[in-house]
């Protein structure tokens, strides 16, 4: 395939590591690249340091064309010192050119011939020259000799729009340090190859060791006797004070923090569960606000990444009577969205007793999506229960993409929270005479489609913004039973986070072996009580939830098990 400068950057950002090869025997070029591809690496920089480099590039290009190597395998020519070398390398099949330093003649040749060029820089002068030419992805070389991560951090500070590929002295011991820098999209190194033709398993072992997590595998959860872990973003919420005040007219804001997974963990922490939150919040006052909110709720913050960046924000205009609430998001470019996959996998706790996520997390960035997939696979492999609240957000991605990404994640999990929109996103439509019966049927079909242990949903009726009604339904695959509650009608102080509390209640009840109907009543009670609490995170006790769960529905209707 034909790569542009932008598509090369995107591929390298996903790869995170590009092997640097100095080929002394052209016959070894393809076998070495096959070993790299077998270890999950999809690119190679072949340096022009030897007389057979051009032939080696040509052989690898033919292997790609013949289907021996993946069609998206990227070949870059490195150590290019002249326009003549650039012409030879690209004629042989190189998709991009890398030079050890900035070369104005290479800039001109590559521009005239539509060839992506990535110059090496080690000083502000070189970087300034590159930026003036419109180049925003550069090689930092020689990385270790030029001062390592400290020098790169200082060099990148005045150039916020520039991304770097450090090369030179990158190894198993320092790879993660470089990748932890926000300005670094990938690193170049030769440590994974050794001499001769490497064994793919050995290449994979070295790469996994360097990433510290198994880049091509999963984070190694050491056991399933740990806390309930959640992976997601926490944001700051700003809302005008009580009463009907539009955002444009607000002079002050109420401030709180929350997020789907954080809210769920806060509920479980209040009920005595040990919890651990995997997230990223910036250094400084905004990040401290989020950390303080988590600590007040009793949520573990040992896996929260702290570094420079911004905290996502959302604005809430509360509705009144028949006028609904309105939400405005300002989360693009947040620290969470810009955190790399290797950082996420390194942050995952060693032990985890239950793993929870929402459909929001994989929509926030490709890195978060990749890390989430790795964590879910590891949890399933280790026997750790997994739960998901689909929680679809149309502002983040399309239904088609959401369904494609989430399908393998929810396959075979223990608990899934859905709603009518989420079910239809996967082609599931419940049948029944009313919304509750249709939701119950959708849960049954959804659970069967994805082999899920329990699938639950709530059905809401909005009388006014201050008065709502809720029913809950759940299908249990082990017993083949579906339970449904009658409607609970209640007053609303703050609706945000109520669905997260329903999910948290189902997790709590399932971990304690509650029967289907008891679990559903308890989870619905958690959802109802959250409506009485201001802010995103719940502020009530286990006794409060139990009091509502045990309270009569008022019409003598105690719900039913729907057997099929």
Q: Is the peptide bond before 142 cis (omega within 30 degrees of 0)?
A: yes
Residues 198 and 295 in one domain: no
| Residue 353 sits in the same domain as residue 374 | yes
Q: Which of 34, 26, 119, 135 is nearest to 76 (CA)?
A: 119
Average pLDDT over residues 8-25: 90
| Whole-number percent of the chain with pLDDT over 90 | 72
pLDDT in tens, 340-360: 887 888 888 888 999 999 999
| Residue range of the domain that includes 339 | 222-385
Count of Cβ atoms closer than 10 Å to residue 369 Cβ: 18
Residue in 342, 336, 354 with CA at minimum distance from that of residue 221: 354
- Could you tell me the CA-to-CA distances from 320 to 215, 238, 365, 469, 492 in Å, in that order? 49, 18, 34, 16, 10
Does one domain contain both 59 and 187?
yes
Exposed e or buried b per residue across 121-132, where buried means at least 16 C-beta atoms within 10 angstroms of its C-beta = bbeeebbebbbe
The rounded distance, in Å, linking the Cα atoms of 328 and 316 is 7
pLDDT digits (tens, 9 = 90+) for 172-195: 888 888 887 888 999 999 998 877
Q: How confident is the model at residue 219 (pLDDT cuts 50, 70, 90)?
A: low
- 45 tagged catalytic: yes
Domain CATH number, residue 198: 3.20.20.70
Buried b / exposed e along 456-495 (16+ C-beta atoms within 10 A): bbbbeeeeebeebebbbbbbbeeeebbbbbbbbebebebb
Which of 8, 39, 36 is closest to 23 using CA atoms?
36
Looking at the structure, tell me whether residues 190 and 246 fall in a common domain: no
Same domain, 381 and 420: no
Which parts of 308-365 fold into alpha helices (H)?
335-338, 341-347, 361-364
Q: What average pLDDT does this structure show over 69-78?
A: 94
Judgement on whether residues 279 and 251 belong to the same structural domain of the protein: yes
Say how many domains are in the chain: 3
In this prediction, residue 555 carries a pLDDT of: 52
Domain assignment present for residue 372? The answer is yes
Handedness of CA 82, 86, 92, 95 (dihedral sign): positive
Of 11, 13, 15, 45, the catalytic one is 45
Q: Answer whether residue 228 is part of any domain.
A: yes
Residue 397 lies in a domain: no
Lowest mean pLDDT, pick from 107-116, 432-441, 526-535 = 432-441
Give 213 or 553, the one with higher predicted confidence. Answer: 553
In CATH, what number is assigned to the domain containing residue 249?
A: 3.40.1190.20
Please give the distance of CA 42 from its chain centroid, rounded to a whole number. 21
Determine the pLDDT at residue 370.
86
> Among 179, 211, 243, where does a domain finish?
211
Q: Is residue 89 domain-resident?
A: yes
Residue 448 confidence (pLDDT) above 50: yes
Q: Which of 211, 232, 267 is the last residue of a domain?
A: 211
Say yes or no: 339 and 438 in one domain: no
How far is 295 from 511, CA to CA, in rounded Å?
Answer: 23
- Domain final position from 211, 230, 254: 211
In a domain, 351, yes or no: yes
How are strands ordered across the β-sheet holding 254-258? 254-258, 235-239, 313-317, 326-330
Is 182 found in the same domain as 33?
yes
To the question of pTM greater than 0.85 for the whole model, the response is no
Residue 487 has pLDDT above 90, yes or no: yes
Q: How many residues does the chain have?
A: 564
Does residue 517 form part of some domain? yes
What is the radius of gyration, based on Cα positions, of the chain?
Answer: 27
- Give pLDDT, residue 563: 40
In eight-state DSSP terms, residue 28 is G
- Are residues 71 and 193 both part of a single domain? yes
Summarised one tens digit per residue, pLDDT across range 392-410 is: 988 899 999 999 999 999 9
| Residue bearing tokens 């080929």 | 23
Say if residue 491's pLDDT is above 90. yes
User: Could you say which of 11, 13, 88, 139 is catalytic?
Assistant: 139
Do 230 and 379 lie in one domain? The reply is yes
pLDDT tens per residue across span 538-547: 999 999 999 9
Band of residue 216 on the pLDDT scale cut at 50, 70, 90: very low
CB neighbour list of residue 29: distance below 8 Å, 6 or more residues apart: 21, 23, 46, 55, 56, 57, 59, 60
pLDDT of residue 323: 86
Residue 534 within a domain: yes
Mean pLDDT calculated for residue range 184-211: 82
More confidently predicted of 451 and 214: 451
Do both 199 and 307 map to the same domain?
Answer: no
Q: Tell me whether residue 529 is in a domain.
A: yes
- pLDDT for position 312: 96
- pLDDT, the chain, mean: 91
- Asked about 401 being catalytic, the answer comes back as no
Question: Does the structure show a pLDDT above 70 at 561?
Answer: no
Whether 418 and 290 map to the same domain: the answer is no
- Is residue 425 within 8 Å of 454, Cβ to Cβ? no
């Amino acid at each position: 395939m034909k790569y542009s400068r932008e598509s090369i950057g995107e591929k390298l950002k996903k790869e995170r590591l590009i092997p640097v090869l100095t080929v002394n025997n052209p016959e070894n070029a393809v076998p070495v690249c096959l070993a790299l591809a077998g270890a999950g690496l999809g690119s190679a920089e072949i340096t022009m340091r030897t007389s057979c480099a051009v032939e080696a590039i040509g052989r690898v290009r033919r292997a790609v064309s013949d289907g021996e190597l993946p069609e998206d395998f990227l070949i870059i020519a490195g150590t290019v010192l002249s326009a003549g070398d650039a012409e030879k390398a690209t004629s042989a099949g190189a998709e991009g050119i890398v030079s050890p330093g900035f070369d104005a003649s290479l800039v001109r040749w590559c521009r005239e011939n539509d060839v992506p060029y990535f110059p090496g820089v080690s000083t502000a002068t070189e970087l300034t020259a590159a930026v003036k030419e419109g180049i925003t992805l550069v090689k930092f070389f020689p990385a270790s000799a030029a001062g390592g991560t400290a020098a790169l951090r200082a060099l990148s500070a005045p150039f916020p729009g520039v991304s770097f590929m450090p090369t030179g002295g990158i190894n198993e011991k320092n790879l993660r340090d470089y990748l932890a820098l926000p300005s670094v999209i990938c690193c170049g190194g030769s440590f994974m190859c050794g001499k001769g033709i490497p064994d793919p398993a050995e290449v994979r072992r070295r790469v996994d060791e360097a990433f510290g997590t198994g880049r091509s595998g999963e984070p190694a959860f050491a056991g399933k006797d740990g806390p309930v872990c959640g992976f997601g973003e926490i944001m700051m919420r700003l809302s005008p004070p009580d009463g009907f005040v539009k955002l444009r007219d607000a002079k002050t804001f109420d401030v709180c923090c929350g997020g789907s997974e954080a809210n769920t963990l806060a509920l479980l922490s209040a009920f005595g569960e040990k919890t651990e939150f995997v997230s990223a919040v910036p250094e400084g006052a905004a990040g401290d606000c989020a950390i303080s909110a988590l600590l007040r709720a009793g949520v573990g913050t040992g896996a929260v990444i702290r570094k420079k960046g911004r905290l996502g924000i959302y604005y809430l205009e509360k509705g009144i009577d028949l006028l609904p609430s309105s939400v405005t998001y300002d989360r693009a470019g947040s620290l969470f969205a810009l955190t790399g996959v290797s950082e996420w996998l390194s942050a995952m706790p060693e032990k985890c007793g239950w793993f929870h996520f929402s459909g929001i997390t994989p929509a926030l960035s490709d890195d978060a999506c990749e890390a989430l997939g790795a964590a879910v696979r590891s949890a399933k492999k280790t026997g750790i229960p997994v739960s998901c609240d689909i929680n679809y957000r149309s502002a983040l991605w399309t239904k088609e993409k959401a369904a494609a990404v989430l399908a393998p994640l929810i396959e075979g999990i223990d608990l899934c929270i859905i709603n009518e929109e989420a079910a239809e996103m996967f082609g599931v439509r419940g049948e029944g005479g009313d919304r509750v019966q249709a939701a119950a049927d959708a849960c049954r079909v959804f659970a069967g489609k994805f082999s899920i242990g329990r699938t639950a949903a709530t059905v809401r009726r909005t009388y006014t913004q201050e008065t709502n009604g809720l029913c809950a339904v759940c299908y249990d695959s082990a017993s083949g039973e579906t339970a449904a509650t009658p409607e609970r009608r209640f007053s609303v102080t703050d609706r945000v986070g109520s669905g997260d509390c329903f999910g948290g209640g189902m997790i709590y009840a399932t971990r304690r072996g509650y029967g289907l109907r008891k679990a559903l009543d308890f989870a619905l009670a958690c959802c109802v009580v959250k409506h009485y609490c201001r802010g995103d995170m719940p502020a009530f006790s286990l006794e409060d939830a139990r009091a509502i769960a045990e309270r009569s529905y008022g019409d003598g209707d105690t719900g039913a098990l729907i057997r099929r």
